[in-house]
Amino acid sequence: MKLRKLLFLSLLGILFSCTTSQNNTDSEMNVFVDKLMSQMTLQEKIGQLNLITPGGGIPTGSVVSTDVESKIKSGQVGGIFGVYGPEKTRQAQKLAVDESRLGIPMLFGSDVIHGYKTTFPLPIGLSCSWDMELIEKTAQVAATEATADGIFWNFSPMVDISRDARWGRISEGAGEDPYLGSHIAKAMVKGYQQDDLSRPNTMMATVKHFALYGASEAGRDYNSVDMSRLRMFNDYFPPYKAAVDAGVGSVMSSFNDVEGVPASANQWLLTDVLRERWGFDGFVVSDYTSVNEMIAHGLGDLQAVSALALKAGLDMDMVGEGFLTTLEKSLEEGKVSEHDINKACRRILEAKYKLGLFDDPYRYFDDARPGKDILNAGHRKVAREAAARSMVLLKNDRQVLPLKKSGTVALVGPLADSRNNMLGTWAPTGDPKYAVTVLEGFKNTAGNTVNILYTKGANISDDPEFAEKINVFGPKIEIDERSPETMLHEAILLAKKADVVVAVVGEASEMTGESSSRSDISLPENQKKLLRVLAKTGNPLVIVNMSGRPMTLGEENELADALLQVWHAGVETGNALADVIFGDYNPSGKLTATFPRNVGQIPIYYAIRNTGRPQEGEQFTKFKSNYLDVPNSPLFPFGYGLSYTSFEYKNLQLDKPVFSTGESLLVSVEVTNTGSFDGEEVVQLYVRDEVASITRPLRELKGFKKVFLKKRETQKVTFTLHSEELAFYHPNLDFYAEPGEFTVFAGGDSNAALSAKFTLK
Ligand code: NOJ
């Protein structure tokens, strides 16, 4: 018998005694990992720190791994990503288990960002549901599907706060607010991991990108980040911390630098904050070649940057192989210690242990599962519900929506029948062929009673050079053979024949996402032209905007009778949109990122601090903090979203005017459905700290509840505000609340007007 097998069997002896007991304790894991590590060579330990991709999926850098098979066999690979399906993953795992000396199983990872094959709305869209149960459910479905296909380590949730819609990756996160973002981070980690990582249908989550990637300067991807620590701790760190508190298994470092040190070698971030302050005990993986990229950052050669990263607390090197090829030399030269390598190796082995891989390295490779667990009817139902709930109604004059299920509807626009754009960016495991287009959805829902006319009307963009940049992962912008004028003409003729026009416009899916920053976040001019001619027909105009980011929609808002923001809503887009447009679902989404009037207002967010010269009202006033050419207010604020019904808020009450640190305050408000539809409302609670030792935001979200109200129904909605929720980080990074006066606001968006005062003793 080969030495490897003998060793493995002796290990199994230990293992069986560990995993058969109900309560696997850390000490049992430690015994196992100690024993395993005592048998590993230095090269094998370094091998565990190496994450590779054979390039089968979509590589997100210019490098893919080579000699994959021989590396696995020689114990030089700790994990792999971009390999899918039980057959392929099993084959690869067999190489590690049967053919490497110690048979240590590999991790199989992927980016399952908004669903696996059942693609849900983009995360920014999902966040607009403000529905934590639903968000958790989507993560759970994603875990079920991914693990059925051999993937049990997910590079999600992405929780980077962003207040800059130029940044393409704002689509992958939960928007601008740390409080909401923290709740969503927690729901997603819970959805992916449940309470047991070793179950065959749960997967290990990775919170990313640590840290501050969403604050890239000028919204340009991968760019530098610099901000005060106060801002980091108060505004940008909370969602990462929430994921850590929820037990996330791994953390991914970000591409950007923070205070001049790239995140992947930033000891303050990866060790002082993450491990010492927050108590994170999983492992840290780099982003795609982010270790190597520190050469371009100007931190030295590959050996130098790899040593810096390891010493800072980075455990696994994604694709770049700086660890694999230089750590041994750095050890010899005293630039890293054996202890540094051991620490990182241990963390990765511990993750494998928790995933149950030493018990059964093939536990996630079951040929029977994909057929029943992937894209089944139940999962599609969740996707349809999630999509409908992520849509945000921005305008609805004269109750144009919902449309009646009768008469003639002209469905126009480059995204009205564009299967390739429905899933949205970062859906490498999704397949557009399963996506329902808007035209199909309309026909499914109303085809029997509504005369649905369709024409494209315009391309997403007429510019072939731009189209080429967007079409790297397949055709997303398809420039029609017809001339733009012909298409416009056809659209006008069609619109005139209808009772109402629904124009589906916006961004192609790859106009947002990684490496898709834009300096102009308006609709391409040719789509604007289409909307102008449609509006001119005088027929009611419903504009449906699909995008992965907030856009500047001032003109569209003027032209439209109704304006609906639907993001890229996933595999059930068409059906869900029909549910909303024809009133089978009354929209309840609320924006989680502010929509600016123009790009010059960016960064724009609701939780601003006052200047010493605040502007009062919207009028320009000399020597106040404002602009000559645009009001300070956004086009649509955070938290905003209409319903087919209307809600009235009254009777904001506190159970006491004064409360003490360590205690809670009950805040209640009465919400009445005053319109003529049943509907849901996201009741939001904001707080202002009136006087503090540092400048504080004018209001901060501190509570939200989504309630369903029947027509004319009133509900008293109560929030418990604990004094801890009034706490903030101080310049020395201590976290506590300052006694004094506060104002609380309740309402349906961040401009909520109803207010009351209380004092914290
Ligand atoms: C680069 C992206 O920044 C990251 O989010 C992703 O997880 C990796 N590529 C792997 O695909």
Statement to judge: residues 399 and 431 lie in one domain? yes
Q: How far is the CA of 79 from the centre of ligand 1 (A)?
A: 15
Q: Are strands 754-760 and 740-747 parallel, antiparallel or unpaired?
A: antiparallel
Of 75, 64, 44, 67, nearest to 328 by C-alpha is 44
Please state whether 391 falls in left (phi above 0), alpha (psi between -120 and 50) or beta.
beta
Above 60 in pLDDT, residue 1?
no
Atom 10 of ligand 1: nearest residue by CA position: 288
Residue 513 lies in a domain: yes
Residue 613 lies in a domain: no
Atom of ligand 1 nearest to the CA of 58: 11
Residue type, 708: F
Cβ neighbours, 10 Å, residue 671: 23
What are the angstrom distances between the C-alpha of 337 and each of 35, 208, 334, 556?
20, 27, 6, 60
Residue 488 lies in a domain: yes
Atom of ligand 1 nearest to the CA of 158: 5
Residue 29 lies in a domain: yes
Statement to judge: residues 269 and 128 lie in one domain? yes
Q: Which domain holds residue 478?
A: 383-601
Instruction: Report the chain's mean pLDDT, rounded to a whole number.
Output: 95
User: Of the residues 533, 566, 601, which one is the last residue of a structural domain?
Assistant: 601
Cβ distance 357 to 105 under 8 Å?
yes
Whether the model clears a pTM of 0.95, i.e. scores above it, the answer is: yes
By CB atoms closer than 10 A (0-12, 13-18, 19+), residue 367 is: exposed
User: Of the residues 545, 579, 601, which one is the last residue of a structural domain?
Assistant: 601
Q: Residue 10: CA atoms inside 13 Å, Cβ hemisphere, count? A: 12
State which of 52, 81, 252 you would mutate to test the pocket of ligand 1, scoring each by most atoms of that ligand within 8 A of its C-beta: 252
CATH number of the domain enclosing 453:
3.40.50.1700
Q: How many residues does the chain have?
A: 761
Statement to judge: residues 347 and 253 lie in one domain? yes
Helix (H) or strand (E) holding 333: none
Q: How far is the CA of 208 from the centre of ligand 1 (A)?
A: 9
Whole-number Å distance between alpha carbons of 386 and 364: 27
Q: How far is the CA of 264 from the centre of ligand 1 (A)?
A: 14
Tens of pLDDT, residues 69-88: 999 999 999 999 999 999 99
Statement to judge: residues 218 and 195 lie in one domain? yes
What pLDDT, on a 0 to 100 scale, did the predictor assign at position 65?
A: 83
Residue 637 lies in a domain: no
What pLDDT, on a 0 to 100 scale, did the predictor assign at position 243?
A: 99
Above 80 in pLDDT, residue 747?
yes
Q: How far is the CA of 273 from the centre of ligand 1 (A)?
A: 22
Whole-number Å distance between alpha carbons of 64 and 81: 11
Statement to judge: residues 104 and 213 lie in one domain? yes
Atom of ligand 1 nearest to the CA of 213: 3
Whole-number Å distance between alpha carbons of 248 and 283: 10
Q: How far is the CA of 452 from the centre of ligand 1 (A)?
A: 41
Region 446-451: mean pLDDT is: 98
Region 553-576: mean pLDDT is: 98
384: Cβ contacts below 8 Å, ≥ 6 apart: 572, 575, 576, 579
Residue 375 lies in a domain: no
Show the DSSP H helices in 313-415 as ranges: 322-332, 338-354, 369-373, 377-390
Whole-number Å distance between alpha carbons of 67 and 63: 13
Tens of pLDDT, residues 178-196: 999 999 999 999 999 999 9
Statement to judge: residues 677 and 595 lie in one domain? no
10: Cβ contacts below 8 Å, ≥ 6 apart: none
Q: What angle do CA 483, 489, 491 make, to 5 degrees?
A: 105
Statement to judge: residues 426 and 334 lie in one domain? no
Statement to judge: residues 587 and 680 lie in one domain? no
Q: How far is the CA of 575 from the centre of ligand 1 (A)?
A: 30
Q: How far is the CA of 592 from the centre of ligand 1 (A)?
A: 23
Atom 8 of ligand 1: nearest residue by CA position: 288
CATH number of the domain enclosing 149:
3.20.20.300
Above 80 in pLDDT, residue 718?
yes
Q: How far is the CA of 60 from the centre of ligand 1 (A)?
A: 6
Please state whether 539 falls in left (phi above 0), alpha (psi between -120 and 50) or beta.
beta
Residue 355 lies in a domain: yes
By CB atoms closer than 10 A (0-12, 13-18, 19+), residue 617 is: exposed
Statement to judge: residues 408 and 501 lie in one domain? yes
| Ligand 1, residues at Cβ distance < 6 Å | 60, 111, 155, 208, 287-288, 514
What pLDDT, on a 0 to 100 scale, did the predictor assign at position 56?
A: 63
Above 70 in pLDDT, residue 2?
no
- Could you tell me the pLDDT band of residue 224, with boundaries at 50, 70 and 90? very high
Atom 4 of ligand 1: nearest residue by CA position: 287
Tens of pLDDT, residues 500-542: 999 999 999 999 999 999 999 999 999 999 999 999 999 999 9
Question: Is residue 287 among the annotated active site residues?
Answer: yes
Statement to judge: residues 234 and 107 lie in one domain? yes
Statement to judge: residues 97 and 231 lie in one domain? yes
Region 328-356: mean pLDDT is: 98
CATH number of the domain enclosing 653:
2.60.40.10
Tens of pLDDT, residues 366-392: 999 999 999 999 999 999 999 999 999
Above 60 in pLDDT, residue 14?
no
Statement to judge: residues 363 and 396 lie in one domain? no
CA of residue 681 relative to chain centroid, distance: 23
What pLDDT, on a 0 to 100 scale, did the predictor assign at position 577?
A: 99
User: Of the residues 316, 347, 370, which one is the last residue of a structural domain?
Assistant: 370
Residue 617 lies in a domain: no
What is the token pair recorded at 293? 């990229």
In this structure, what is the dihedral angle of CA atoms 564, 567, 571, 577, given to the nearest 10 degrees? Answer: 0
33: Cβ contacts below 8 Å, ≥ 6 apart: 346, 349, 350, 353
Q: Write down the catalytic residue from 164, 177, 257, 287.
A: 287
What pLDDT, on a 0 to 100 scale, did the predictor assign at position 380?
A: 98
Total structural domains within the chain: 3
Tens of pLDDT, residues 79-131: 999 999 999 999 999 999 999 999 999 999 999 999 999 999 999 999 999 99
